[in-house]
Chain A
């Protein structure tokens, strides 16, 4: 039996800033994982990745990352993606810093 499909989000880095971005259902990019489109259908995933890569002039290295549905939108399932949406653990830099300044 085929393994069940793990939901995905599409993530990349911004070309100019280099920071982590996520693809939304509206074909735009957001800096918050919670606003990303959670893709639950395996057939959709590759097509949506192609949509994302159409914007390669502004982004770098789009890929599908495992995610799960949370009360406030998608959440990471792996610690690597958790670090990417937060920032490093030795300094309060990256997204955690940006959020604190909002």
Chain B
């Protein structure tokens, strides 16, 4: 894990002191809201429907136990006892008071966390595979590169006033868990002739014009990462549209100018910029890499795990859904679901955060991760510790065995909190999870991702869901559109709309009908929802969703 040096500490302390003074000047009337708003946004402070909201970055999703405890402290001391983990590896506090926010930022600074560039038209928190450094299928831990990008992009003078926000995601594995094809820039660590480098994807994004990113460079040598990224951003800064907010993202720039033009301009800029890098960034990278050395994985028997797996069906169900393959012998990656049936997706109480911090310290070499799927991960757990870990999670309501299943829903805050939302998403997620828990069907249904956004901006990633739900305002009433067949992995795809939307009280039954079609038509339990959809297409689902329309056709 990266540890701040003196420079980092001093930079953050100074920045927090500046913001404290800005808050005071707003309160005493020296600054108008128009002057203050860009300043607060640069520091992650939004004004939402019912209160201010503070968005704190969890850099590339990695935390240690001390940081997690500080997140708990913020929730308890300055909020209403909980925090909300988002789809971009951030945590949001929904109820801070303006005067308290500088204190919250100072507390975060003490453990090397901040809220800088979690908002505004800047380079946002670089997100990473939440299994980074642990996954069996991983080539290289991408987090040192993510940290390098964080340091380069934080307060970068050229990229503080981009045409629009800019999001980078990185993975070190061929199996994409970081949705890199739906980011402005996606980076995948690859190897060519024994050398490490990146496949660079550009122009992906969700929102009102969802697009899958395209390959800008098949292989970028690792040493060229920063000059090349700088070239991509420089071209965007010049070419990107500033006349229309809805056409300002790089996906539009790339699609309007064509990937070949964008590539040619990037390469041209790169020729000029590369010479400005004198190797200091590579020295820094080598230093950063020392912070991310894998722990000394212990060895030993897995007898306790094997016994619990054979004898305890509750443990077995949890192990089957919530564990992933670890690269070290005898270890597993544990996903702690913070999606108990009926609970708000992504919300964790201060008590739960503290417990997870304790468990991370005790069982996971002091590491935790936050996933874009709004769960918490203990990346390195020896299998023999799993029965004890599971027992503790169970005692605190954190042992829900639903990772990857229909109740493991991504949902944005929606109209319950967000000033931009057009409809609610949280209660829809709660009701779907509760309904399928009552039906006791979800383990039988298997892998199925539902993602819900409360407006067209698509924070809930609905376009890349197997079943996507988009909440809209139709003539003053909440209305929900459904898309099917989206895919958030390396085979990324945008889902297709089923047809007219559904009223609030019709959306859960509609999802149920979709699942019924899948269960009736799948070729055995091995065929996932997405596979069945890709095989049989939209029509059977439409027929179940819109029986009246079918009658008219007949």
Q: Which of A1-60 contact B (CB under 8 A)?
A: 13, 15-20, 56-57, 60
Given A90-B427, A91-B80, also A15-B27 (CB < 8 A): yes
Given A17-B97, A56-B33, A61-B33, also A89-B426 (CB < 8 A): yes
What residue in chain B is nearest A83 (Cβ atoms)?
B415
The residues of A that contact B49 with a CB separation of less than 8 Å are 20, 80, 83-84
A17 to B52, CA, bound (A): 8
Q: Which of B89-112 contact A (CB under 8 A)?
A: 94-99
* B374 contacts partner chain A, Cβ-Cβ < 8 Å: no
A94 to B48, CA, bound (A): 12
The residues of B that contact A73 with a CB separation of less than 8 Å are none
Given A61-B47, A90-B344, also A15-B26 (CB < 8 A): yes
Interface of A is mostly: loop
The residues of B that contact A80 with a CB separation of less than 8 Å are 49, 415, 473
* B358 contacts partner chain A, Cβ-Cβ < 8 Å: no
What residue in chain A is nearest B51 (Cβ atoms)?
A18
Number of residues on chain A facing chain B (CB within 8 A): 25
The residues of A that contact B32 with a CB separation of less than 8 Å are 56
* B50 contacts partner chain A, Cβ-Cβ < 8 Å: yes
- How far, in Å, is A55 (CB) from chain B's closest CB? 11
A17 touches B51 (CB 8 A): yes
A83 touches B47 (CB 8 A): no
- How far, in Å, is B427 (CB) from chain A's closest CB? 5
- How far, in Å, is A12 (CB) from chain B's closest CB? 10
The residues of A that contact B417 with a CB separation of less than 8 Å are 88
B97 touches A90 (CB 8 A): no
The residues of B that contact A95 with a CB separation of less than 8 Å are 50
A48 to B293, CA, bound (A): 63
- How far, in Å, is A47 (CB) from chain B's closest CB? 21
What residue in chain A is nearest B417 (Cβ atoms)?
A88
How many inter-chain residue pairs (CB < 8 Å) link A and B? Answer: 70
What residue in chain B is nearest A86 (Cβ atoms)?
B50
The residues of A that contact B477 with a CB separation of less than 8 Å are 79
Q: Which of B95, B96, B99 has the most CB of A within 10 A?
A: B95
What residue in chain A is nearest B34 (Cβ atoms)?
A56
The residues of A that contact B426 with a CB separation of less than 8 Å are 88-90
Task: Pick the residue among A16, A61, A83, A84 that contacts B27 (CB under 8 A).
Answer: A16
Q: Which of A77, A87, A91 has the most CB of B within 10 A?
A: A91
- How far, in Å, is B84 (CB) from chain A's closest CB? 10
* B442 contacts partner chain A, Cβ-Cβ < 8 Å: no
What residue in chain B is nearest A17 (Cβ atoms)?
B97
* Chain B 24-53: CB-based contact to A (< 8 A → 1; otherwise 0): 001101001100000000000001111110
The residues of B that contact A90 with a CB separation of less than 8 Å are 344, 416, 426-427, 430
A91 to B47, CA, bound (A): 19
The residues of A that contact B430 with a CB separation of less than 8 Å are 90
A89 to B49, CA, bound (A): 13
The residues of B that contact A61 with a CB separation of less than 8 Å are 33, 47
B99 touches A16 (CB 8 A): yes
Q: What residues make up the interface of B, taking CB atoms closer than 8 Å to A?
A: 26-27, 29, 32-33, 47-52, 80, 94-99, 344, 415-417, 424, 426-427, 430, 473, 476-478
Q: What residues make up the interface of A, taking CB atoms closer than 8 Å to B?
A: 13, 15-20, 56-57, 60-61, 77-80, 83-84, 87-91, 93-95
Q: Can you pick out 25 interface pairs between chain A and chain B where the beta carbons lie within 8 Å of each other? A: A13-B47, A13-B51, A16-B99, A18-B98, A19-B50, A19-B51, A20-B49, A56-B32, A61-B33, A77-B476, A78-B476, A79-B473, A79-B477, A80-B49, A83-B49, A83-B415, A83-B416, A84-B50, A88-B50, A88-B417, A90-B416, A90-B427, A93-B94, A93-B95, A94-B51
